Structure 1
Amino acid sequence: MFTNSSFNKRSLADVLVLPFWQDKNKAVAASKDIADLAKPGLDDFKGAASETTLLYDGKKEKRLLLVGLGKKSECTPEVVRKAYGSASAWIRKLKLKSVNVVLPEGGSVFALAEGFALNNYAFENLKSKKEEVLIQKIVLLDATKAELEDAVRAAKLAEAVCFARDLVNGNADDVTPQYLAKIAQELSKLPKVKTQVLDKKAIEKEKMGLLLAVNRGSKRDPHILIVRYEGAPQNKEHTVVVGKGVTYDTGGLNLKPTGSMEEMKTDMGGSAAALGAIKAAALLGLKVNLTAVVPTTENCIDALSYKPGDVYTSYQGTTVEIFNTDAEGRLILADALAYAVKKLKPTRIVDFATLTGAIVIALGEERSGLFSNNDKLAKALEEAGDRSGEKVWRFPLDTEYKELLKSDIADIKNCAKRQAGSITAAIFLQEFVGNTPWAHVDIAGTAFPDKKTSYHPTKATGVGVRLLINMLENA
């Protein structure tokens, strides 16, 4: 997707993209010797962040696209990412396929490439007519070897994000536990990746009572997917990412109402993040050890569905009273977390889950909720969120909240009443990780938001992939 060339020897493209800063409400060229190219449009163009203006009659390219980066002193990778996501959106709207890009001096080429590559996505698998046009070639003018390498890495990361998006966007009748198992097996074709799939018989043998309870209403068997990427075999550091894989959530006997069920095919967004992170690590050749563990099932309704008020025994032996069958995600995560801690012995563990509506009320669609028993891990994720644009906000795990999960007939209830819903969900999960450094990321508001952004052209965002990879590369 990305190549480089000198400005003076560039080949003809459909459009030339020019960067500008904003200075005292005026546009200032963000690269040498380009202001003259865009003089006819600078009267109205101010260079504000993500501002775009299209001009015609360029000397070589027919079209010039001016891109604003805002004030130079306030420019961050996220500003660059959004700006070039907007540029990509304009170019795709015009159905153009080749682009020449003048790089901004002082702007992040990695973020620039991310903006282009993340926007350059369409999901038309379910449409009878394919209308979207994707950019085929982007030439970075006068890019150094290191800058081109950054752009290529950004494209590989975006490929993994788009892989995750495809899973979330797909039909629930297509993206089943069995399909996720197939996808996990296909990942083993990547370098240094191995896959193991536990079927229902193996899950029964392991006595994962909570996963089996949730699965009782479905005619499709559950799976546990274990996908290992070993990029640093001599390193003792081993990160496990657990992703919630409820491929469709009716709510069970605590049935979701109309208006709350229509998007529940996306309740496997955590599994998409976990599998996408494995793909990204392999494509990028990261020198880390990363294992994805995905518990996957449907939460459907049947005469044998698990029932509110009943008690089930978890993998680690903790008994759980079912207060609400629509709090199923934490149940399957509990068995997966306990299994991962015991069998894989990670040095740290991060789970991603579209877990609670309460987190959407608290944070909206801008940030994911972060919960952790380890300050160092929490800080690493917070910093990775700021760098990647997949921001998180940390919530407390005070022991007093556990009082809300007390049960008269079991060790713990799977949920409380309405108060502190996201916190009590995380408190429940914490019971299954022991002393292992652990973080829970609630992506219910960020995995499939109503609002599209410049570099998220469909509702499925693939959130979690870039966050985790950024953390792995920096901590």
Structure 2
Amino acid sequence: MRISVQLLSQNDFSTEAYAVGVFNGQGLENELFFLSPDLASAVSAELKRREFQGKEGESCVLPLFQNKQVKHLIFIGLGKKRLLESQSVRSFTARAIKAANGVQAGELSFDPGLMDDLEDFSAGLQAAAEGLELAAYHFSVYKKRTAKEAVKKYKVESAVFYTRDKKNTLKSQKVLEWAKVYSEAVFLGRDLVNTPSMHMHPAEMVKVAQSLAVRGSGISCKVFDKEAMAKLGMHASLAVGQGSVHEPKFVHLIYKPKISRKAKKLVLVGKAVTFDSGGLSIKPADGMIDMKIDMAGAASVLGVFKALAKIKPKAEVHGLFAAVENIPSGSAYRPGDVVAAMDGTTIEVENTDAEGRITLADALAYGTQKIKPDYMIDLATLTGAVIIALGSDITGMFCSNQDLKNKLQQASDAAGELMWELPLHAPYRELIKSKIADVKNVGGRPAGTITAALFLEKFVGQTPWAHLDIAGPSYAEKENKPELPVGGTGWGIRTLLHLIRGL
């Protein structure tokens, strides 16, 4: 899709679909400048007849059969009058492109009021372009029709944001490039999560990581097989994966800027359980259906690395994940086993279905010992408890460092990806004390999200660290937001890219 910002010329204006954002109770006189007074009055009357009021998320599409300049009008409600924030703009453009696709419009244009009312033009334009790109995503690899045929449903090929301020056109190109890069990174994350586990097992995740390390990208990739993992002492991850025919793999991606001497070091760790049956503590059938998504954390890390070669940040970024499959078999690890993580910490396994934190223990210990970063962030579909607490829209965030917490929250706000801080409540450490090992992998049902985070905390030492439990927003069971189609969401990729650009 071609996206551009153009100066409005009322004398030379035409488009197949024209999108207008309408605040609650707002008049439309200025927005419908290309219509005759009689036709503009008729449009207003029709909106009133349809009881369109401009409520947030409300939409209405009107065809203009005898108008040479515009074939369809698309009205999207923005809610109460206010300065437009990035997330509102992102959702507005996402709704608009879905409506335009619905009438098979090849070109979609936007009312200049959208650009001219933005609180922050660059941030707003990036959000607007992201809304278009993210809403147009579709995953049709496994459909009977070919991918080319599927794309025919998504008709919009060109989108134009009009403005009355020439300065906006001059600074738009770089912003639109950022939006494209961010969106393509998200698409990779979504594709990986949406791919069935039969085609996204540990060895396949390795291939994806290796494909990112191309000449000139600044990215390199190290892969450790099970023998190399054993030499490093990663017996915890090896135990989780020992029941599967797909052998565990550990991946270390490295992005180094051209000037790296004073660069901040950031480690991103992703949970990469490519399928989670629960192991011998087996899940019920309904609980396994979507368990291809249990590698969404690592998918987000890979999505970030796809973008790094293009955004070329000043920070040095490391991406780590232990790819395993948690399957029951005669060789699977058992409840009651004691396994050792890379740093020597022994873990009593009370539940083989709490496997993600066991693999993260090795990755976090590796990051702490081998890289010694300035910051470390892990992303994991770790607990069902976080969904009970925060629902499907919000990530649970734990953080040991105020500076990192501030950076994450600012990046989260810019990306429109919601997170909420939960406490690393020290007294709950008692719940994961083991009688025979250094720690046990579960602490009972109460405060399950917190005890999981406290378990991970044991492997980060003094490193400023954040844990993001993305079990809720990593996968959309239904379309709650227009920019998030059903399936993998790529949650966290845009947040982390905003953070990285600020380091």
TM-score (norm 1): 0.94
Residue of structure 1 in register with 2:16 after alignment? 14
Q: Deviation per CA, 1:385-426, whole angstroms, max 9, x where unpaired?
A: 222111111111122111001111101101111111000000
Q: Displacement, 1:33?
A: 4.3
Q: Displacement, 1:429?
A: 0.3
1:39-438 equivalences under 5 Å are 39-43=41-45, 44=47, 45-57=52-64, 58-73=67-82, 75-103=84-112, 104=114, 105-107=116-118, 108-129=124-145, 130-132=149-151, 133-134=153-154, 135-142=156-163, 144-189=169-214, 191-231=217-257, 232-438=259-465
Q: Displacement, 1:29?
A: 6.5
Q: Distance in 2 between matches of 1:29 and 1:278?
A: 47
Quickly say closer, same or farther: Cα 1:184–1:379, change in 2 above 3 A.
Answer: same
Identity of aligned residues (%): 36
Q: Deviation per CA, 1:310-347, whole angstroms, max 9, x where unpaired?
A: 10111000011001000000010000010011111110
Q: Distance in 1 between matches of 2:237 and 2:12?
A: 57
Q: Distance in 1 between matches of 2:365 and 2:327?
A: 24
Residue of structure 2 in register with 1:472 after alignment? 500
Residue of structure 2 in register with 1:3 after alignment? 4
Quickly say closer, same or farther: Cα 1:380–1:31, change in 2 above 3 A.
Answer: farther
Matched to 2:138, the amino acid is A
Counterpart secondary structure, 1:295? strand
Q: Distance in 1 between matches of 2:336 and 2:280?
A: 11
- Per mean C-alpha deviation after superposition, the further-off stretch among 31-40 and 418-427 is 31-40
Q: Distance in 1 between matches of 2:140 and 2:371?
A: 38
Q: Distance in 2 between matches of 1:287 and 1:321?
A: 41
| Structure 1: tracts of 5 or more residues without a match | none
Q: Displacement, 1:39?
A: 4.6
Q: Displacement, 1:20?
A: 3.2
Aligned length: 473
Matched to 2:178, the amino acid is R
Matched to 1:90, the amino acid is A
- Per mean C-alpha deviation after superposition, the further-off stretch among 398-407 and 9-18 is 9-18
Q: Distance in 2 between matches of 1:245 and 1:407?
A: 26
Q: Distance in 1 between matches of 2:337 and 2:237?
A: 14
Counterpart secondary structure, 1:62? strand
Q: Deviation per CA, 1:364-398, whole angstroms, max 9, x where unpaired?
A: 11210001111221222123222211111111112
Quickly say closer, same or farther: Cα 1:65–1:414, change in 2 above 3 A.
Answer: same
Q: Distance in 2 between matches of 1:273 and 1:148?
A: 26
- Indicate the RMSD between aligned Cα atoms, in angstroms: 2.1
Quickly say closer, same or farther: Cα 1:339–1:392, change in 2 above 3 A.
Answer: same
Q: Distance in 2 between matches of 1:10 and 1:219?
A: 64
Residue of structure 2 in register with 1:26 after alignment? 26
Counterpart secondary structure, 1:327? coil
Q: Displacement, 1:154?
A: 1.0
Counterpart secondary structure, 2:82? helix
Query: Aligned match of 1:461 in 477, 486, 489?
Result: 489
Residues 57, 76 of structure 2: 8 Å contact kept: yes
- Per mean C-alpha deviation after superposition, the further-off stretch among 26-35 and 291-300 is 26-35
Quickly say closer, same or farther: Cα 1:124–1:419, change in 2 above 3 A.
Answer: same
2:478 matched to 1:451?
yes
| Structure 2: tracts of 5 or more residues without a match | 119-123
Residues 476, 485 of structure 2: 8 Å contact kept: no
Residues 82, 115 of structure 1: 8 Å contact kept: yes
Residues 242, 333 of structure 2: 8 Å contact kept: yes
TM-score (norm 2): 0.89
Q: Deviation per CA, 1:74-97, whole angstroms, max 9, x where unpaired?
A: 532111111111111112223333
Matched to 1:149, the amino acid is K
Q: Displacement, 1:32?
A: 9.1
Q: Displacement, 1:61?
A: 2.7
